[in-house]
Structures are given as C-alpha cells and as structure tokens.
Amino acid sequence: MSENPATPESAAPDAHAPEAHAPEVAADEARGLGSTAVSAATPRRGAPMFPDGTGPAADPAGSHHERRIRSFQPRRSRVSPTQADALRRRWPTWGLDIDGLSRIDLDAFFDGLPVVLEIGFGMGEATAQMAAADPGTGILACDVHTPGQGNLLALAERNGLSNIRVANGDAIILLREMLAPGSLAGLRIYFPDPWPKKRHHKRRLIQPEFLALATTRLAPGALVHCATDWEPYAEQMLEVLSAEPTLENLHSGYAPRPDFRPLTKFEGQGLDKGHVVHDLLFRRRAT
C-alpha cells in the first residue's frame, strides 16, 4: 500500500518522479466505452484528467495551505478505461476532494455508520475485502493515486460495497481541516513508504506531530492499526506510538496479525523475500 501524507511540519515534494500524466490508451481498449471514459484516460500532457469536475482534482487543496515536506506525490499514471469509467460515474457520490475548505459530515456521508480512516490504500483490494467483511463500518480511504482510486471505486461498485468512500489528496489537511474532533472510530495505515535512507526519515508518516493531530480526531476506544515489513520503521512506529499519551498498546510490543487485515499481494511479495511483517495495535484512551 502506498503512503499518503507526511508530518504536519515537513516541507518539500516527494523525491520520486514528478507527476505523470496518463499516456494514450490503445484504440482496442477504448472501443465501446464511450468518449467520456476515453477522454478521462487519455488527457493531453498538461491537461486536467477530469476537466468537468466529475473526477478527482489534480491539486484539490491548491496553494492555500502551507508548504511542507510530504511523503507522497500525486501519481496520475495510466488510468484504464474501467478505472476512468468508475471515477466518472461514482466520484460524484462516493468521492471527495480534500480541499480543506469545509468540515465533512461523516454521518451524512456514511449514512450513520462508524467511520475508519485508511491512509494509503494502493489499488484498494485489501480495502474492499475489509469493507465486505464488515459492512457495519464505513471506510474513508485516502490516497493520491488516481488509478488506485478508480480501481477501488470499481471494486466497491462490482461487489455492492456501499460503505466505502474515497478521499483524494493530503491526509494531513483532511485530518486538520475537514474532520471534527472525536469523529473517527479508527485509523489504519498499512505498509507506508519506509523512506529507508536516513536523510529521508523526516518524510515518514508516523511521527509525533502526525499522531498528536490524528489522535484528536479519534473517538475514545478508537483503534489505531499500523503494519510494515520494514524492521527499522517498525521500531520507529512502536516508539512513536508508545510515546503518545492518548494511546495505549493492546499488546506488549508488536501485535499478532489480526484476522481482519487481509494478506495483500504486496505483503506476500515481501514475505517471499524473507521480510518480517509487524502489526501494531493501539487504542485511544477514554481520557
């Protein structure tokens, strides 16, 4: 799964490749899908992917928020016709651009379900599995990867999952500007970018400043669940989570992998390489 934002005090764009625009889609792939799906998947270089506002914006928060180091970069890589079609049809009701301009009414957005925020969901397969296994919980899935957003919406529609909503943009702005205190029933961060080089550790998501913000949005008893297959990052996660006074560890150290977290393709590849996956389960204290 891909990581989304960095700490509230971080300051520069991701060191990865600059934002990519979707290339041409082969004509045989586009046949029968209509001009809207084709145009969404094949914008001209520099042109917005969804100029009519029917899909996620390229930069929803614009420049009205402070500069800081982010651990993510919007990645508008190749969007398939199926993904583009799902974005156009489902985004108006199941999508949300993180513009930082107003609070989200989670009760209205999720029809009264308790809501868990998932930051960084990759292509969305695990998110869809968790939503199917627990239809009584809403999942607000936040990422900046347009193909993944489209894929998750397609999975949700195909499997009749009405408890998924997709948020596009910076999760720091989402937490700080758009979610009310105590409004979340949980927080999930699975396999965030470990930024292994020492000079890049400041880009890691799990930092004291991030947790100080995120925990204010958690209701008492809310579960914080992190997972990583990068040992040094697991150690940092455990240290930072343990030092947050509003959280308590549900285990003495790392947690056994809970049944509700699916085994992802990404995780399986890591296990095949001999990586050890660490889960961390913490709970928001009542006071």
Residue ranges of the binding site: 118, 143, 170, 193, 197, 229, 264-267
d(CA 88, CA 90): 6
Q: Is there a catalytic annotation at residue 193?
A: yes
C-beta of residue 49 within 8 angstroms of C-beta of residue 79: yes
Binding residues for substrate, by number, are 197, 229, 264-267
Phi/psi at 27 (5° precision)? -60, -35
- Tell me the CB-side half-sphere exposure of residue 235, using CA atoms within 13 A: 4
d(CA 136, CA 139): 10
Q: Give the burial class of 218: count Cβ atoms within 10 A of its Cβ; 0-12 exposed, 13-18 middle, 19 or more buried.
A: buried
What value does the CA radius of gyration of the chain take, rounded to a whole number of Å? 18
C-beta of residue 213 within 8 angstroms of C-beta of residue 142: no
Binding residues for S-adenosyl-L-methionine, by number, are 118, 143, 170, 193
d(CA 240, CA 206): 7
Where would I find the H helices in 76-168?
81-94, 106-109, 125-133, 146-158
* Distance set, CA 94 to CA 77, 154, 177 (Å): 21, 11, 20
Catalytic residue among 14, 97, 99, 193, which?
193
The catalytic residues are: 193
